[in-house]
C-alpha cells in the first residue's frame, strides 16, 4: 500500500504543481506531510492504522518527488543546470547511502525503531526549513 500511495502522490503532485507552478510549496507540503505521517506511525498500535499512516507519509513524499527536480531546474541558471543537477544528485546519493547506516546505528543504540523514524522526521523538518526562503519565489 505505501508504494501504491507514493505512485498516486507522484502523479497527483506533478499534475497539481504543473497547474499551480508552485514547486517549492509542493516540496514543502510534501515533506511536512511525510513527517506528520511518520510521527503518526510512531503513535499508532494496530497494523492497519500503521499501514494507513505509512501510506499517507509515502503519498505525501510522492507529491514532492517530481517537483524536486523541477524546482532545481527553475532555481538554477541554464548554464549551470547540469552542474547543479550533478551536485544535487551526488549529495542525494551520499545522503541516501548514509541515512540507513545512521538509522541502523540509532536503532541499535536505542533498541527502538522509533528512533530511526524520528531521524527521518527530523530530516524532513530540516528540509522544510531549508525550503522556507524559496517559497515566495518558486
Q: What is the pLDDT of residues 37-62, one digit of tens each?
A: 999 999 999 999 999 999 999 999 99
Please tell me the distance from the alpha carbon of residue 18 to that of residue 26, in angstroms, as a whole number: 10
CB under 8 Å to 73, separation ≥6 — which residues?
81, 85
Task: Identify the sign of the CA torsion 112, 101, 24, 2.
Answer: negative
0.95 exceeded by pTM: no
What percent of the chain stands above pLDDT 70?
Answer: 100
Of 109, 132, 106, 123, which is closest to residue 57 (Cα–Cα)? 123
Amino acid at each position: 500500500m505505501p508504494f501504491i500511495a507514493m505512485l498516486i502522490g507522484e502523479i497527483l503532485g506533478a499534475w497539481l504543481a504543473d497547474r499551480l507552478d508552485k514547486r517549492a510549496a509542493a516540496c514543502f507540503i510534501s515533506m511536512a506531510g511525510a513527517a506528520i505521517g511518520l510521527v503518526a506511525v510512531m503513535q499508532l498500535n494496530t497494523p492497519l492504522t500503521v499501514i494507513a499512516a505509512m501510506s499517507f507519509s509515502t503519498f505525501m513524499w510522492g507529491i514532492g518527488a517530481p517537483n524536486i527536480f523541477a524546482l532545481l531546474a527553475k532555481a538554477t541558471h541554464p548554464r549551470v543546470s547540469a552542474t547543479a543537477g550533478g551536485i544535487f544528485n551526488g549529495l542525494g546519493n551520499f545522503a541516501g547511502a548514509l541515512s540507513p547506516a545512521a538509522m541502523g546505528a540509532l536503532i541499535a543504540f536505542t533498541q527502538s525503531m522509533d528512533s530511526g523514524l524520528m531521524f527521518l522526521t527530523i530530516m524532513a523538518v530540516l528540509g522544510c526549513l531549508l525550503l522556507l526562503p524559496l517559497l515566495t519565489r518558486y
